[in-house]
């Protein structure tokens, strides 16, 4: 689902802003980001389909990435030069970048905000058993309940218990698609801004990110906070960093 946070009205490179692990964009954060960017900077949010109560989410990360790129093109947005992702949403950013490169486009700059220190498949491969599905369903239900209080505007009726249950099922399926995704080395440019613990895990030589993903140029910026307050207490720092890095990336 495409969300025109700041639709294209200039020739500036497009910034695509991806959802996190449950498939939902925090609308308020997108608007706050737009206020920090240049007024002619095109920004589009990308949210998993399925929260309308009528459809199902994409069956895989690969399928979702294809749909996101198709939606951007249909909206008249050029292939995104910058793709920003929050938390586990980084797998969708990686896959979009791969598909863009395969189609002959210039590799976008990936701006990853506090991704997990261990990518899917880092330890023992996850077996999607009924017990695992049940665990993720409970996790998604709790996340949706918390999101109603924490994120404000959401893509479903928060007062309808049936829609809340559908939203939780949709979020669970997005989470399962992430678990099934196989990460591979990515040769394009990647910028990461992460909380201290995750930054240490990401940057450590021989650990999964360095060994399995970061095959091209990359930077790592640390924030002295935890995952929960990256966007609450440190939003201006994150947004200013993104703005500066994007300006450099336009000519890099």
Angle CA 6–74–34, to nearest 5: 10
Residues in the chain with pLDDT < 50? Answer: 123-125
Does residue 117 contact residue 222 with C-beta atoms inside 8 Å?
A: no
Query: What is the Cα gyration radius of the chain?
Result: 17
- Name the pairing type of β-strands 82-86 and 190-195: unpaired
pLDDT given at position 91: 95
**What is the model's pLDDT at position 172?**
86
The predicted pLDDT at position 124 comes to 42
- Do residues 65 and 97 touch, judged by C-beta distance below 8 A? no
What local confidence, expressed as pLDDT, does residue 115 receive? 93
Contact present, 45 and 3 (Cβ < 8 Å): yes
Judge whether 69 and 185 are in contact, CB under 8 Å.
no
Q: What does the alpha-carbon distance between residue 234 and residue 143 come to, in Å, rounded to a whole number?
A: 22
Per-residue pLDDT, 74: 85
Token duo for residue 145? 């309940």
> Which residues lie closer than 8 Å to 6 by C-beta, 6 or more apart?
34, 37, 39, 41, 42, 43
Compute the CA torsion angle 161, 167, 168, 171 (nearest 10 deg). -170
Task: Name, in order, each residue with C-beta under 8 angstroms of 171's C-beta and a sequence gap of 6 or more.
Answer: 22, 23, 24, 140, 143, 144
pLDDT of residue 123: 44
Contact 110, 93 (CB under 8 A): yes
Domains within the chain, CATH numbers bracketed: 2-251 (3.40.50.1820)
Eight-state DSSP code of residue 56: -
Instruction: Tell me what pLDDT residue 236 has.
Output: 78
């Amino acid at each position: 689902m495409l969300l025109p946070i700041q639709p294209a009205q200039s020739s500036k490179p497009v910034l695509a802003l991806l959802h996190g692990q449950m498939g939902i964009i925090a609308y308020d954060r997108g608007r706050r980001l737009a206020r920090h960017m240049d007024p002619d900077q095109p920004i589009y949010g990308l949210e998993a389909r399925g929260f309308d109560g009528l459809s199902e989410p994409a069956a895989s990360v690969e399928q979702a990435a294809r749909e996101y790129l198709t939606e951007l093109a249909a909206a008249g947005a050029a292939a995104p030069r910058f793709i920003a992702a929050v938390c586990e949403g980084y797998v969708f950013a990686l896959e979009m970048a791969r598909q863009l490169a395969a189609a002959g486009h210039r590799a976008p700059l990936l701006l990853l905000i506090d991704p997990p220190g261990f990518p899917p498949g880092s330890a023992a491969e996850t077996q999607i058993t009924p017990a695992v599905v049940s665990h993720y369903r409970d996790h998604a239900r709790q996340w949706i309940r918390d999101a109603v209080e924490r994120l404000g505007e959401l893509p479903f009726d928060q007062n309808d218990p049936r829609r809340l249950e559908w939203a939780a099922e949709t979020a669970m399926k997005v989470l399962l698609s992430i678990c099934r995704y196989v990460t591979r080395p990515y040769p394009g440019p990647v910028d990461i801004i992460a909380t201290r613990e995750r930054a240490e895990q990401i940057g450590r030589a021989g650990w999964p990110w360095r060994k399995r993903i970061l095959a091209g140029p990359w930077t790592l910026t640390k924030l002295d906070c935890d995952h929960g307050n990256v966007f609450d207490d440190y939003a201006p720092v994150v947004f200013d960093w993104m703005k500066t890095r994007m300006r450099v990336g336009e000519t890099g």
